Amino acid sequence: MAVSLRRARPGAPPNAPVAFHAPLFQELVTGLDETERHVVLDLGSASTPMLALLGRSRTRVEIADLAHFGGIDRLNTAEPGAALASAAESLLPIPLPDNAFDLVFCWDLPNYLTLSALSALMNAIGHRARPGALAHALIFYSERDMCEHPGRFVPTADGELINYNPRHASIAAPRYSPEDLGKSMGRFVLDRARLLSTGMQEFLFRL
Amino acid sequence: MFERVKRGDDTIEAPEASRPESDKSFGSLRSKVTGRSSEVAVIGSSIQINGDLRGDEDLRIEGNVSGTVELKNSVLTIGKEGKVKAGVYAKSIAVDGETKGDLYATDRVSVHVNARVQGNIIAPKVSIEEGAHFKGSIEMDPAAVEKALGKTTAGIVDKTVSQHKPGKTLDSKAAPKKTAKDADTNVNPPAKTA
Protein backbone atom coordinates (compact mmCIF):
# COMPACT_ATOMS: atom_id res chain seq x y z
CA MET A 1 0.00 0.00 0.00
CA ALA A 2 1.40 3.33 -0.98
CA VAL A 3 1.29 5.55 2.06
CA SER A 4 3.98 7.99 2.93
CA LEU A 5 5.74 7.44 6.24
CA ARG A 6 6.86 10.98 6.72
CA ARG A 7 5.52 13.89 8.70
CA ALA A 8 2.62 12.53 10.73
CA ARG A 9 0.48 15.33 12.10
CA PRO A 10 1.01 16.07 15.80
CA GLY A 11 -1.43 14.08 17.91
CA ALA A 12 -2.60 11.96 14.98
CA PRO A 13 -3.25 8.22 15.55
CA PRO A 14 -0.43 5.92 14.40
CA ASN A 15 -2.30 4.74 11.29
CA ALA A 16 -3.64 8.15 10.32
CA PRO A 17 -2.82 9.20 6.76
CA VAL A 18 0.09 11.57 6.57
CA ALA A 19 1.02 14.34 4.21
CA PHE A 20 3.49 13.73 1.42
CA HIS A 21 5.32 16.13 -0.77
CA ALA A 22 4.38 16.16 -4.44
CA PRO A 23 6.55 18.90 -5.94
CA LEU A 24 4.84 19.07 -9.33
CA PHE A 25 1.40 19.35 -7.75
CA GLN A 26 2.65 21.99 -5.36
CA GLU A 27 4.22 23.94 -8.17
CA LEU A 28 0.97 23.81 -10.13
CA VAL A 29 -1.38 25.03 -7.43
CA THR A 30 0.92 27.62 -5.89
CA GLY A 31 1.92 28.96 -9.28
CA LEU A 32 -1.57 29.87 -10.48
CA ASP A 33 -1.68 33.44 -11.68
CA GLU A 34 -4.25 35.21 -9.50
CA THR A 35 -5.08 37.69 -12.21
CA GLU A 36 -5.95 35.05 -14.79
CA ARG A 37 -9.10 33.01 -15.00
CA HIS A 38 -8.45 29.25 -14.88
CA VAL A 39 -10.72 26.37 -15.69
CA VAL A 40 -9.78 23.23 -13.80
CA LEU A 41 -11.04 19.72 -14.43
CA ASP A 42 -10.77 17.52 -11.37
CA LEU A 43 -11.37 13.84 -12.11
CA GLY A 44 -11.37 13.06 -8.39
CA SER A 45 -13.62 14.03 -5.51
CA ALA A 46 -14.28 17.56 -4.33
CA SER A 47 -12.79 18.72 -1.07
CA THR A 48 -12.94 22.05 0.69
CA PRO A 49 -9.12 22.31 1.08
CA MET A 50 -8.63 21.77 -2.65
CA LEU A 51 -11.27 24.38 -3.46
CA ALA A 52 -9.65 26.77 -1.03
CA LEU A 53 -6.29 26.28 -2.68
CA LEU A 54 -7.69 26.82 -6.16
CA GLY A 55 -9.91 29.65 -4.93
CA ARG A 56 -6.85 31.81 -4.41
CA SER A 57 -7.15 32.60 -8.09
CA ARG A 58 -10.15 33.20 -10.36
CA THR A 59 -11.02 29.60 -10.97
CA ARG A 60 -13.91 27.53 -12.16
CA VAL A 61 -13.60 23.93 -11.03
CA GLU A 62 -15.35 21.09 -12.82
CA ILE A 63 -15.59 18.04 -10.60
CA ALA A 64 -16.06 14.78 -12.50
CA ASP A 65 -15.56 12.37 -9.56
CA LEU A 66 -15.15 9.32 -11.75
CA ALA A 67 -14.76 6.97 -8.78
CA HIS A 68 -18.08 7.74 -7.11
CA PHE A 69 -20.29 8.33 -10.12
CA GLY A 70 -19.54 5.15 -12.04
CA GLY A 71 -17.07 6.65 -14.48
CA ILE A 72 -14.34 4.06 -14.05
CA ASP A 73 -16.59 1.10 -14.70
CA ARG A 74 -18.23 2.83 -17.63
CA LEU A 75 -14.87 3.44 -19.28
CA ASN A 76 -13.37 0.04 -18.55
CA THR A 77 -16.40 -1.88 -19.78
CA ALA A 78 -17.21 0.14 -22.91
CA GLU A 79 -16.49 -1.48 -26.25
CA PRO A 80 -13.39 0.03 -27.87
CA GLY A 81 -14.13 2.50 -30.61
CA ALA A 82 -17.16 4.73 -30.81
CA ALA A 83 -18.79 3.39 -27.65
CA LEU A 84 -15.70 4.05 -25.58
CA ALA A 85 -15.25 7.52 -27.05
CA SER A 86 -18.89 8.25 -26.30
CA ALA A 87 -18.53 6.99 -22.73
CA ALA A 88 -15.53 9.27 -22.22
CA GLU A 89 -17.41 12.26 -23.62
CA SER A 90 -20.37 11.60 -21.36
CA LEU A 91 -18.21 11.84 -18.25
CA LEU A 92 -17.06 15.35 -19.02
CA PRO A 93 -19.00 18.55 -18.45
CA ILE A 94 -20.88 20.02 -21.37
CA PRO A 95 -18.53 22.36 -23.22
CA LEU A 96 -19.15 26.07 -22.87
CA PRO A 97 -17.55 28.91 -24.81
CA ASP A 98 -14.40 30.20 -23.13
CA ASN A 99 -14.33 27.31 -20.66
CA ALA A 100 -11.58 25.14 -22.09
CA PHE A 101 -9.57 23.35 -19.43
CA ASP A 102 -6.25 24.82 -18.34
CA LEU A 103 -5.48 22.22 -15.72
CA VAL A 104 -6.50 18.61 -15.27
CA PHE A 105 -6.05 16.68 -12.03
CA CYS A 106 -6.12 12.95 -12.70
CA TRP A 107 -4.82 11.93 -9.24
CA ASP A 108 -4.28 8.16 -9.20
CA LEU A 109 -7.25 7.35 -11.44
CA PRO A 110 -5.15 6.29 -14.47
CA ASN A 111 -4.04 3.25 -12.43
CA TYR A 112 -7.67 2.09 -12.33
CA LEU A 113 -8.26 2.45 -16.06
CA THR A 114 -7.18 0.20 -18.88
CA LEU A 115 -4.81 1.92 -21.26
CA SER A 116 -7.48 2.07 -23.95
CA ALA A 117 -9.94 3.62 -21.49
CA LEU A 118 -7.32 6.12 -20.37
CA SER A 119 -6.55 6.95 -23.98
CA ALA A 120 -10.23 7.59 -24.77
CA LEU A 121 -10.65 9.76 -21.70
CA MET A 122 -7.56 11.84 -22.36
CA ASN A 123 -8.50 12.22 -26.01
CA ALA A 124 -11.87 13.60 -24.97
CA ILE A 125 -10.24 15.91 -22.45
CA GLY A 126 -7.68 17.01 -25.01
CA HIS A 127 -10.45 18.23 -27.29
CA ARG A 128 -11.79 20.45 -24.49
CA ALA A 129 -8.44 21.77 -23.28
CA ARG A 130 -6.50 24.85 -24.24
CA PRO A 131 -3.17 24.50 -26.04
CA GLY A 132 -0.54 24.33 -23.31
CA ALA A 133 -2.94 22.83 -20.78
CA LEU A 134 -1.36 20.67 -18.09
CA ALA A 135 -2.47 17.30 -16.76
CA HIS A 136 -1.21 15.96 -13.44
CA ALA A 137 -1.25 12.27 -12.51
CA LEU A 138 0.04 9.94 -9.79
CA ILE A 139 1.10 6.50 -10.97
CA PHE A 140 1.98 3.52 -8.80
CA TYR A 141 5.53 2.80 -9.79
CA SER A 142 7.67 1.02 -7.21
CA GLU A 143 4.74 -0.48 -5.25
CA ARG A 144 3.37 -3.74 -6.63
CA ASP A 145 -0.04 -3.30 -4.96
CA MET A 146 -2.48 -0.48 -4.67
CA CYS A 147 -5.76 0.10 -2.84
CA GLU A 148 -8.83 -1.48 -4.38
CA HIS A 149 -10.37 1.95 -4.85
CA PRO A 150 -8.81 5.21 -6.03
CA GLY A 151 -7.44 7.57 -3.43
CA ARG A 152 -9.10 10.66 -2.07
CA PHE A 153 -6.31 13.20 -2.19
CA VAL A 154 -6.69 16.36 -0.17
CA PRO A 155 -4.05 19.09 -0.15
CA THR A 156 -2.72 20.79 2.92
CA ALA A 157 -2.57 24.57 3.02
CA ASP A 158 1.05 24.50 1.85
CA GLY A 159 0.36 22.24 -1.10
CA GLU A 160 1.33 18.81 0.25
CA LEU A 161 -1.11 15.93 -0.24
CA ILE A 162 -2.90 13.57 2.12
CA ASN A 163 -4.56 10.40 0.82
CA TYR A 164 -7.72 9.81 2.86
CA ASN A 165 -8.63 6.61 1.08
CA PRO A 166 -9.79 4.04 3.64
CA ARG A 167 -7.61 0.95 3.64
CA HIS A 168 -9.65 -1.65 1.84
CA ALA A 169 -8.23 -4.68 0.09
CA SER A 170 -5.28 -4.29 -2.21
CA ILE A 171 -5.08 -5.22 -5.86
CA ALA A 172 -2.12 -5.49 -8.20
CA ALA A 173 -0.99 -2.14 -9.51
CA PRO A 174 -0.61 -1.96 -13.31
CA ARG A 175 2.64 -0.02 -12.85
CA TYR A 176 2.30 1.79 -16.15
CA SER A 177 5.62 2.86 -17.57
CA PRO A 178 6.23 6.36 -18.92
CA GLU A 179 6.17 4.78 -22.37
CA ASP A 180 2.75 3.21 -21.73
CA LEU A 181 1.43 6.52 -20.49
CA GLY A 182 3.03 8.46 -23.29
CA LYS A 183 0.97 6.43 -25.77
CA SER A 184 -2.26 6.67 -23.73
CA MET A 185 -2.59 10.31 -22.83
CA GLY A 186 -4.10 11.47 -26.09
CA ARG A 187 -2.45 14.62 -27.33
CA PHE A 188 -0.84 15.28 -23.95
CA VAL A 189 2.90 14.67 -23.94
CA LEU A 190 5.15 14.02 -20.97
CA ASP A 191 6.57 17.21 -19.55
CA ARG A 192 8.14 16.13 -16.26
CA ALA A 193 8.10 13.27 -13.76
CA ARG A 194 9.19 12.82 -10.13
CA LEU A 195 9.46 9.73 -7.96
CA LEU A 196 7.72 10.40 -4.63
CA SER A 197 8.42 9.07 -1.15
CA THR A 198 5.14 7.13 -1.38
CA GLY A 199 6.51 4.93 -4.16
CA MET A 200 4.33 6.72 -6.67
CA GLN A 201 5.58 8.54 -9.70
CA GLU A 202 4.22 12.02 -10.21
CA PHE A 203 3.70 13.02 -13.82
CA LEU A 204 2.97 16.29 -15.53
CA PHE A 205 1.75 16.16 -19.12
CA ARG A 206 1.36 19.10 -21.44
CA LEU A 207 -0.95 19.58 -24.39
CA MET B 1 -48.85 20.20 4.26
CA PHE B 2 -45.86 21.53 6.13
CA GLU B 3 -44.98 20.61 9.66
CA ARG B 4 -43.75 23.59 11.66
CA VAL B 5 -40.94 23.40 14.14
CA LYS B 6 -40.87 26.34 16.57
CA ARG B 7 -37.60 27.92 17.57
CA GLY B 8 -36.92 31.06 19.52
CA ASP B 9 -37.14 32.56 22.98
CA ASP B 10 -40.01 30.32 24.02
CA THR B 11 -38.31 27.08 23.02
CA ILE B 12 -35.18 25.30 24.09
CA GLU B 13 -32.66 24.73 21.35
CA ALA B 14 -31.19 21.25 21.14
CA PRO B 15 -27.64 21.08 22.46
CA GLU B 16 -25.09 21.57 19.72
CA ALA B 17 -23.93 17.94 19.84
CA SER B 18 -27.42 16.49 19.51
CA ARG B 19 -28.51 18.63 16.60
CA PRO B 20 -28.17 17.44 13.00
CA GLU B 21 -25.03 18.47 11.18
CA SER B 22 -26.95 20.81 8.96
CA ASP B 23 -28.33 22.66 11.95
CA LYS B 24 -24.90 23.05 13.49
CA SER B 25 -23.46 24.72 10.44
CA PHE B 26 -26.16 27.34 10.51
CA GLY B 27 -26.21 27.70 14.29
CA SER B 28 -24.47 31.03 14.22
CA LEU B 29 -27.03 32.40 11.82
CA ARG B 30 -29.94 31.25 13.98
CA SER B 31 -28.36 32.59 17.14
CA LYS B 32 -28.67 36.06 15.69
CA VAL B 33 -32.45 35.79 15.78
CA THR B 34 -33.32 37.19 19.18
CA GLY B 35 -36.35 38.85 20.66
CA ARG B 36 -38.79 36.98 18.48
CA SER B 37 -39.44 33.43 17.52
CA SER B 38 -38.31 31.99 14.24
CA GLU B 39 -39.86 29.00 12.57
CA VAL B 40 -38.59 26.43 10.18
CA ALA B 41 -41.08 24.89 7.83
CA VAL B 42 -40.53 21.21 7.17
CA ILE B 43 -41.56 19.20 4.15
CA GLY B 44 -41.91 15.74 5.58
CA SER B 45 -40.45 12.59 4.09
CA SER B 46 -43.80 11.38 2.72
CA ILE B 47 -44.44 14.61 0.81
CA GLN B 48 -43.78 14.92 -2.92
CA ILE B 49 -43.95 18.28 -4.66
CA ASN B 50 -43.73 18.90 -8.39
CA GLY B 51 -43.55 22.55 -9.35
CA ASP B 52 -42.20 25.86 -8.11
CA LEU B 53 -41.73 26.42 -4.41
CA ARG B 54 -41.32 30.01 -3.19
CA GLY B 55 -41.22 31.49 0.27
CA ASP B 56 -39.61 33.83 2.74
CA GLU B 57 -38.89 31.60 5.70
CA ASP B 58 -36.41 28.91 6.54
CA LEU B 59 -37.29 25.51 5.14
CA ARG B 60 -36.16 21.95 5.69
CA ILE B 61 -36.91 19.41 2.98
CA GLU B 62 -37.11 15.74 3.93
CA GLY B 63 -39.42 14.78 1.06
CA ASN B 64 -39.14 14.80 -2.74
CA VAL B 65 -39.23 18.12 -4.56
CA SER B 66 -38.98 18.64 -8.31
CA GLY B 67 -39.09 22.01 -10.07
CA THR B 68 -37.72 25.23 -8.62
CA VAL B 69 -37.10 26.26 -5.03
CA GLU B 70 -36.75 29.99 -4.29
CA LEU B 71 -36.09 31.15 -0.74
CA LYS B 72 -33.91 34.10 -1.55
CA ASN B 73 -33.68 35.52 1.96
CA SER B 74 -33.86 32.29 3.89
CA VAL B 75 -32.01 29.15 4.82
CA LEU B 76 -32.79 25.93 3.00
CA THR B 77 -31.77 22.61 4.48
CA ILE B 78 -32.13 19.45 2.44
CA GLY B 79 -32.28 16.76 5.09
CA LYS B 80 -30.92 13.24 4.92
CA GLU B 81 -34.22 11.94 3.55
CA GLY B 82 -34.63 14.85 1.16
CA LYS B 83 -34.40 14.45 -2.60
CA VAL B 84 -34.50 17.63 -4.64
CA LYS B 85 -34.43 17.75 -8.40
CA ALA B 86 -34.61 21.47 -8.93
CA GLY B 87 -32.82 24.71 -9.40
CA VAL B 88 -32.45 26.09 -5.88
CA TYR B 89 -32.06 29.76 -4.90
CA ALA B 90 -31.61 30.70 -1.24
CA LYS B 91 -29.55 32.75 1.14
CA SER B 92 -27.86 29.62 2.49
CA ILE B 93 -28.20 26.01 1.40
CA ALA B 94 -27.16 22.99 3.44
CA VAL B 95 -27.36 19.56 1.87
CA ASP B 96 -27.48 16.29 3.76
CA GLY B 97 -29.59 14.41 1.20
CA GLU B 98 -29.63 14.32 -2.60
CA THR B 99 -29.90 17.12 -5.13
CA LYS B 100 -29.86 17.30 -8.89
CA GLY B 101 -29.79 20.81 -10.26
CA ASP B 102 -27.94 24.05 -9.73
CA LEU B 103 -27.59 25.55 -6.26
CA TYR B 104 -27.47 29.35 -6.00
CA ALA B 105 -26.85 30.96 -2.62
CA THR B 106 -26.09 34.56 -1.80
CA ASP B 107 -24.26 33.48 1.36
CA ARG B 108 -23.09 29.86 1.34
CA VAL B 109 -23.59 26.31 0.22
CA SER B 110 -22.58 23.48 2.57
CA VAL B 111 -22.49 19.92 1.29
CA HIS B 112 -22.35 17.57 4.25
CA VAL B 113 -21.02 14.07 4.69
CA ASN B 114 -22.99 11.42 2.75
CA ALA B 115 -24.82 14.08 0.71
CA ARG B 116 -25.02 13.43 -3.02
CA VAL B 117 -25.07 16.52 -5.19
CA GLN B 118 -25.12 16.66 -8.98
CA GLY B 119 -25.23 20.15 -10.43
CA ASN B 120 -23.41 23.42 -10.26
CA ILE B 121 -22.78 25.51 -7.18
CA ILE B 122 -22.74 29.27 -7.35
CA ALA B 123 -22.14 30.95 -4.00
CA PRO B 124 -19.58 33.19 -2.31
CA LYS B 125 -18.75 30.44 0.19
CA VAL B 126 -18.75 26.73 -0.48
CA SER B 127 -17.81 23.85 1.78
CA ILE B 128 -17.82 20.18 0.91
CA GLU B 129 -17.31 17.76 3.75
CA GLU B 130 -15.19 14.65 3.60
CA GLY B 131 -17.45 11.81 2.45
CA ALA B 132 -19.84 13.98 0.44
CA HIS B 133 -20.30 13.10 -3.22
CA PHE B 134 -20.39 16.00 -5.62
CA LYS B 135 -20.36 16.17 -9.39
CA GLY B 136 -20.63 19.45 -11.22
CA SER B 137 -18.90 22.80 -11.30
CA ILE B 138 -18.01 25.30 -8.62
CA GLU B 139 -17.50 28.82 -9.83
CA MET B 140 -14.80 30.67 -7.93
CA ASP B 141 -14.35 33.61 -10.25
CA PRO B 142 -15.85 36.45 -8.16
CA ALA B 143 -17.09 38.32 -11.20
CA ALA B 144 -18.88 35.27 -12.55
CA VAL B 145 -20.39 34.52 -9.12
CA GLU B 146 -21.54 38.10 -8.76
CA LYS B 147 -23.05 38.12 -12.19
CA ALA B 148 -24.94 34.89 -11.65
CA LEU B 149 -26.16 35.85 -8.19
CA GLY B 150 -27.02 39.35 -9.34
CA LYS B 151 -29.40 37.86 -11.83
CA THR B 152 -31.07 35.68 -9.24
CA THR B 153 -31.37 38.33 -6.53
CA ALA B 154 -32.82 40.77 -9.03
CA GLY B 155 -35.41 38.20 -9.86
CA ILE B 156 -34.15 37.78 -13.38
CA VAL B 157 -33.57 34.10 -13.02
CA ASP B 158 -32.94 32.40 -16.25
CA LYS B 159 -34.98 29.27 -15.72
CA THR B 160 -33.00 27.43 -18.34
CA VAL B 161 -29.89 27.66 -16.19
CA SER B 162 -31.47 25.67 -13.41
CA GLN B 163 -32.25 22.89 -15.80
CA HIS B 164 -28.78 22.59 -17.22
CA LYS B 165 -26.85 19.41 -16.81
CA PRO B 166 -23.91 19.51 -14.40
CA GLY B 167 -21.10 21.56 -15.76
CA LYS B 168 -23.23 23.83 -17.88
CA THR B 169 -23.73 27.20 -16.32
CA LEU B 170 -21.99 30.41 -15.94
CA ASP B 171 -20.70 33.02 -18.20
CA SER B 172 -16.96 33.44 -17.88
CA LYS B 173 -16.06 36.95 -18.89
CA ALA B 174 -12.89 38.53 -17.61
CA ALA B 175 -13.03 40.27 -14.27
CA PRO B 176 -10.86 42.28 -11.90
CA LYS B 177 -8.52 40.41 -9.60
CA LYS B 178 -9.93 39.07 -6.34
CA THR B 179 -8.29 36.76 -3.83
CA ALA B 180 -9.65 34.43 -1.18
CA LYS B 181 -8.35 35.20 2.30
CA ASP B 182 -10.29 32.69 4.36
CA ALA B 183 -8.91 29.58 2.77
CA ASP B 184 -10.72 27.12 5.03
CA THR B 185 -14.24 27.52 3.86
CA ASN B 186 -14.60 30.74 1.93
CA VAL B 187 -13.56 29.45 -1.41
CA ASN B 188 -15.36 32.28 -3.10
CA PRO B 189 -14.40 35.68 -1.77
CA PRO B 190 -17.33 38.07 -1.61
CA ALA B 191 -17.59 39.75 -4.94
CA LYS B 192 -17.34 43.52 -5.09
CA THR B 193 -18.02 45.95 -7.84
CA ALA B 194 -15.49 48.61 -8.66
pLDDT tens per residue across span B123-138: 888 899 888 999 999 9
**0.80 surpassed by pTM:** no
- Please answer yes or no on whether B140 and A48 come within 8 Å at the CB atom: no
Domain boundaries, chain B: 3-162
> Is A51 in contact with B138 (Cβ distance < 8 A)?
yes
Query: pLDDT 10s digit of each residue in chain A, 207 long?
Result: 333 334 445 555 556 778 899 999 999 988 888 888 899 999 999 988 998 888 888 889 999 999 988 899 999 999 999 999 999 999 988 777 778 999 999 999 999 999 999 999 999 999 999 999 999 999 988 888 888 889 889 998 878 899 887 667 788 899 998 888 888 999 999 999 999 988 889 999 999
Distance CA A6, CA B181 (A): 29
Amino acid identity at A69? F
ipTM above 0.85, yes or no: no
Of B138, B178, B186, the CB nearest to A58: B178
Q: Which of A47, A51, A92 is the best mutation test for B, with the most CBs of B within 10 A?
A: A51
DSSP A138-202: EEE-S-SEEESS---EEE-TTS-EEE------EEE-----HHHHHHHSTT-EEEEEEE-TTSEEE
CB-based contact B168 A37, cutoff 8 Å: no
Cβ neighbours, 10 Å, residue B46: 9
The answer to whether B53 touches B69, Cβ cutoff 8 Å, is yes
Q: Quick check: B134 and A37 CB within 8 A?
A: no
Domains along chain A with CATH numbers: 19-206 (3.40.50.150)
**Gap between the Cα atoms of B120 and B165, Å rounded:** 8
SS (H, E, C) A67-112: CCCCHHHHHHHCCCCHHHHHHHHHCCCCCCCCCCEEEEEEECHHHH
What residues in A contact B137, CB-CB < 8 Å?
A: 60-63, 93
